[in-house]
Structure 1
């Protein structure tokens, strides 16, 4: 999983920097120099300076130059100085059309400087759906800092990022799916449109991923009808999208039995009991290979479906559940 511990601090810091920069303006005058690249470097250096007077001068130049400053700022994003790169991203964020800098901002999510990454993430977040798909793909980056910056950006987007994150749930890549599910869960009910994609992603053998997805679903809170409908689609085969939930969905439901007391765990318990004989094969498999909680729940369900099965339970479960089942 990603390490998101510093995201909250970054959320507080970057908007303050941008607001302070926006309020620091003085009389406008145009940046000067032999070319756009040179102007862009000087402009970025002023915007990224720790000196308030220089930042104010930089903002004045930015206002005077407007969108014409963008090529120079894009070039400045590659400067050796982190201070200059910070100013370049700030300048791009304050452009009339910051979306024109999107490719450079996406690259800046991998900048070696944490402040540059955070500034780029906040700027891309303002672009919403326009940037969401490209940013979501970066959750699959092999570089930890890029994944964290992408996650910060997507969390700042909020509901605008939901379709892109739902699309990531359809990848056969458990770490990426887990990160996307974590972000969706953090959005609560705003992520309801992603519930079907999350439910379908439960059809996996990755136990860790199942727990992350189930936790996300518990936080999002889809209604029972939605969960059951999507579980039915998991169980469908071929072109039978409206078939009854059958044995094919039972293994996924059994995996959720390891989450007793949670909404998804309770839903699984109730649904398996209603499925009756169709759930037997998956429950019997759980007796042999499941976790302790899954085995206990499976034993109780099996004896509820067929009381005669109490005599066939493994000895350890018969002792554990002796007070809950009746052996004649």
Structure 2
């Protein structure tokens, strides 16, 4: 079936012949308004779609589009909201209706919030008021809309900073994103020293949402990586990782966080080093000593970070091999096999050499690591074959699994 309802299509094809310029456009919009009010669902869908395509030229349809927001059909109401967004400031009469829909959450709140952001500053007063609403979806939706509005929503910064402490995590996250998009650096840097851990964490997150990393915030963020609260430390690390070349001087501080006592901070350090590539490549040499740490969780975090550098971490292979001889990770931990695979084929020969060991644990680990390379580890097949029927069932199973992956049956 054609997308355009046939009688409406004929009318719209004829209308441009009846006049020129804005006269014809107005006639077309009037026809679409009429179709938007039709009892025929395809006609309403088509009308909402076409009004959405008209952008600001659809301004005469604002009232009809407001009514269509209540349509039971998702295509109709969502396209109507999108059309109001395209109309922009001239859709100001729809502000109250759109704000009322924020509390519904879901797609409706998302689309309504975007429409409000495109209407612009006229929506600011009611959005600021909605930041204090009882319903979390309304607060979050207002925050998201203000963020989409960008710098013109600067007057919302104080209220959004307050929402970083919101008891509803989603509201706090959306507020941080909004603050990042609005882009006022100074209040966020100041908030990094606030007494509330949630406020400090949110400020660090907001700085990470900015389109261009604010270099004047780097030092305060580095200080925040030493915060007493682990969630603040972790978020500060993640944000510092977005600073690109500017992360080179503080690399030792990022690497040191791999040894943090809290798992979330160690994971954030790995992610930060990954985000900062290729500028963080010098971290490889700094990470290698962590492979000889006594704490297994630190060793595994360092290995994860090294794996993210791929072949550039080949100098870590000897230390990683040594780690296999001393570390006994949980059975379901795949960090070391994944790390060797990411570093690449230069790991194969040293791993194959481990198959000369008498240690069942080491034989099992070597086979498990070699399995990751598939056919690329064919050079290790003869050594693996010697252990196919090993007396330790765990070894024989690991070896047979590796052989099956390296030399699959035809």
Larger Rg: 2
* Greater per-residue helix proportion: 2
TM-score calculated relative to the size of structure 2: 0.41
Select the structure with the greater relative contact order (CA < 8 A; seq sep ≥ 6).
1
